[in-house]
């Protein structure tokens, strides 16, 4: 029984194809060009006669040429807004896109893998340098000169968009507030997506029990934008966000563009300095939450987290001067009024910190500490390790570590990676022993906290 041998598939690059076509059009015989560039004569003929003009060599891609080109354009435009699009943001964008389009795909859990990412960059080599620059940029800590330069660029950009002198009612900031909860059986994190304006209005927060990148997109389209429309806020508005957040996707950018919401990314690793909500609002919420949660659990033990989290959060927000906390936050961050001189530059770390900041003790001693049975001796030793470590850290670095505590991965300076994970391990143990848990639950549910939305009393 004879078998028909398969013809070997010729591989060629887009550049080789374009060069071969150019030579044929200049007079080179098709056969000569085919032999020189190892491209089938029929393929050259079809390309020259515009047959299958839009078809790429190689296997079919999941996205169309137009969709991939839109991603490329988005990556390039985002950098002008301070939005650092890297691999994570690109992959999240494609995952959300194929989900929205209900398009069949071979991705695991609907998310592109490293092979897709590698092939995408091979098809669009002009953005490789941009993505690499963004990825490196988010790992660095900006110094005073970088921050002042960012303010100058922001001022120029807003002036170009005619947004430099808009009123405080059209300037917003959004950030995730992470709270800790303990019920009768376990401990977990509670994620509260929040946004507020420079004139003291709090957008209704969204209570979450997981930290999915799609949550912010849903928050903007389901809560933030409808709330602006309901209050008859004039558009366009400015929305300051984390410039390296995983939720920065093409879908989010397109929605904001269509609805006149100007996204502006804050400098990476500086949300403790530039994010208005982190100045006074979040510290006040966390302190009040800790107190009200302890009081509640003393009165009533319950196994159901969802029974009391939303009511307690509502009570916390109702009893805080939200309007003044927001106004002060924008003032201290220099975002309204827009001025670089409002910042406390003593909290800004230098680009190359001295090596002497790294504590000189063996990190592996921590393993021995964790083997001790829980008790006063265990608590005391954990506290001693934490205090010793934090005495060696500068106040600026400690603030950065605290800010990154709830993130799954370290995205700051590579030199600080091991030190951060070591500090967080100690901090987690101490927090757990002192009833400030740091373990996360994977349940997923969204709760809207309708009440607890404060606004200035002199509303006009």
What pLDDT score does 372 carry? 40
304-313, 336-345, 402-411: which range is least confident on average?
402-411
69-73, 127-131, 323-327: which range is least confident on average?
127-131
Instruction: Give the residue-averaged pLDDT of 100-107.
Output: 89
What pLDDT score does 377 carry? 57
Token pair belonging to 102 = 């209900």
Mean pLDDT of the chain: 80
Question: Which option is the CATH number for 14-49: 1.10.1790, 3.40.50, 1.10.260, 1.10.10?
Answer: 1.10.10
Q: Are strands 261-266 and 446-448 parallel, antiparallel or unpaired?
A: unpaired
Q: Which residue has the higher pLDDT, 210 or 365?
A: 210
CA atoms lying within 13 Å on the CB side of residue 3: 3
Instruction: Give the residue-averaged pLDDT of 196-212.
Output: 93
Please determine, for residue 149, whether its predicted confidence score (pLDDT) is greater than 80. yes
Please give, one letter per residue, the 3-state secondary structure of 132-152. HHHHHHCCCCCCHHHHHHHHH
What pLDDT score does 186 carry? 62
Please determine, for residue 45, whether its predicted confidence score (pLDDT) is greater than 80. no
Please determine, for residue 5, whether its predicted confidence score (pLDDT) is greater than 60. no
Please determine, for residue 323, whether its predicted confidence score (pLDDT) is greater than 60. yes
Find out if CATH 3.30.420.10 is the number for domain 166-345.
yes
What pLDDT score does 359 carry? 43
Please determine, for residue 447, whether its predicted confidence score (pLDDT) is greater than 70. no
What pLDDT score does 49 carry? 72
For the chain, domain boundaries: 14-49, 65-140, 166-345, 376-431
Instruction: Give the residue-averaged pLDDT of 145-169.
Output: 95
Please determine, for residue 460, whether its predicted confidence score (pLDDT) is greater than 50. no
Please determine, for residue 364, whether its predicted confidence score (pLDDT) is greater than 50. no
Please give, one letter per residue, the 3-state secondary structure of the chain. CCCCCCCCCCCCCHHHHHHHHHHHHCCCCHHHHHHHHCCCHHHHHHHHCCCCCCCCCCCCCCCCHHHHHHHHHHHHHHHHHCCCCCHHHHHHHHHHHHHHHCCCCCCECCECCHHHHHHHHHHCHHHHHHHHHHHHHCCCCCCHHHHHHHHHHHHHHHHHCCCCCCCHHHEEEEEEEEEEEECCCCEEEEEEEEEEECCCCEEEEEEECCCCCHHHHHHHHHHHHHHHHHCCCCCCEEEEEECCCCCCCHHHHHHHHHCCEEEEEECCCCHHHHCHHHHCHHHHHHHHHHHHHHHHHHHCCCCCHHHCHHHHHHHHHHCCCHHHHHHHHHHHHCECCECHHHCCHHHCCCCCCCHHHCCCCCCCHHHHHHHCCCCHHHHHHHHHHHHHHHHHCCHHHHHHHHHHCCCCCCCCCHHHHHHHHHHHHHHHHHHHHCCCCCCCCCCCCEEECCCCCCCCCCCC
68-77, 107-116, 201-210, 436-445: which range is least confident on average?
436-445
How would you label 220-239 residue by residue, b for 16+ Cβ within 10 Å and e otherwise? beebbbebbeeeebeebbbb
Q: Which residue has the higher pLDDT, 335 or 397?
A: 335
Please determine, for residue 1, whether its predicted confidence score (pLDDT) is greater than 50. no
- What is the percentage of the chain residues whose pLDDT exceeds 90? 39
Instruction: Give the residue-averaged pLDDT of 365-383.
Output: 52
What pLDDT score does 341 carry? 94
What pLDDT score does 55 carry? 53
What pLDDT score does 295 carry? 82
Read off the pLDDT band of 271 (50, 70, 90). Answer: confident
Please determine, for residue 53, whether its predicted confidence score (pLDDT) is greater than 60. no
What pLDDT score does 185 carry? 58
- What is the percentage of the chain residues whose pLDDT exceeds 70? 77
Quick one: 384 exposed, middle or buried, by C-beta within 10 A (0-12, 13-18, 19+)? Answer: exposed
106-120, 232-246, 415-429, 435-449: which range is least confident on average?
435-449
Please determine, for residue 15, whether its predicted confidence score (pLDDT) is greater than 60. yes
């Amino acid at each position: 029984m004879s078998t028909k041998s398969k013809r070997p598939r010729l591989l060629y690059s887009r550049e080789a194809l374009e060069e071969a076509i150019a030579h044929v059009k200049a007079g080179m015989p098709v056969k000569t060009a085919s032999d020189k560039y190892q491209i089938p004569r029929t393929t050259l003929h079809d390309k020259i006669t515009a047959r299958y003009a839009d078809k790429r060599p190689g296997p079919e891609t999941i996205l169309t040429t137009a969709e991939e080109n839109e991603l490329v354009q988005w990556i390039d435009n985002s950098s002008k807004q301070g939005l650092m699009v890297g691999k994570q943001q690109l992959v999240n964008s494609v995952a959300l896109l194929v989900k929205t389009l209900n398009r069949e795909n071979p991705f695991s859990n609907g998310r592109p893998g490293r092979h897709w990412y590698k092939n995408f960059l091979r098809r669009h080599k002009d953005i490789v340098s941009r993505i690499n620059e963004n990825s490196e940029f988010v790992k660095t800590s900006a110094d005073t000169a970088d921050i002042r330069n960012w303010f100058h660029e922001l001022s120029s950009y807003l002036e170009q968009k005619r947004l430099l002198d808009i009123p405080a009612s059209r300037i917003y900031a959004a950030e995730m507030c992470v709270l800790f909860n303990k019920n009768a059986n376990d401990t977990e994190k509670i994620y509260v997506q929040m946004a507020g304006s420079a004139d003291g209005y709090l957008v209704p927060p969204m209570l979450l029990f997981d930290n999915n990148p799609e949550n912010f997109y849903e928050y903007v389209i389901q809560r933030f934008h409808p709330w602006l429309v309901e209050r008859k806020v004039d558009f366009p508005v400015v929305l300051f966000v984390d410039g390296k957040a995983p939720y920065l996707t093409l879908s989010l950018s397109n929605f904001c563009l269509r609805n006149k919401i100007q996204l502006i990314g804050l400098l990476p690793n500086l949300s403790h300095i530039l994010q208005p909500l982190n100045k006074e609002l979040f510290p006040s919420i966390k302190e009040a939450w800790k107190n009200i949660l302890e009081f509640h659990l003393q009165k009533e033990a319950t196994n159901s987290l969802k029974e009391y989290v939303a009511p307690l959060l509502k009570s916390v927000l109702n009893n805080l001067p939200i309007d003044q906390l927001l106004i002060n936050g924008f003032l201290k961050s220099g975002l309204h009024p827009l001025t670089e001189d409002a910042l406390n530059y003593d909290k800004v770390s230098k680009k190359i910190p001295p090596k002497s900041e790294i504590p000189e003790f063996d990190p592996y001693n921590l393993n021995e500490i964790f083997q001790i049975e829980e008790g006063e001796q265990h608590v005391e030793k954990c506290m001693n390790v934490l205090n010793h470590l934090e005495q060696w850290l500068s106040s600026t670095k400690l603030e950065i570590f605290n800010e990154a505590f709830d993130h799954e991965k370290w995205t700051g300076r590579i030199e600080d990676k091991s030190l951060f994970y070591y500090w967080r391990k100690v901090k987690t143990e101490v927090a757990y022993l002192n009833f400030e848990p740091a373990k996360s639950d994977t349940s997923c549910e969204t709760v809207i906290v309708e009440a607890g939305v404060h606004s200035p009393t002199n509303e006009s």
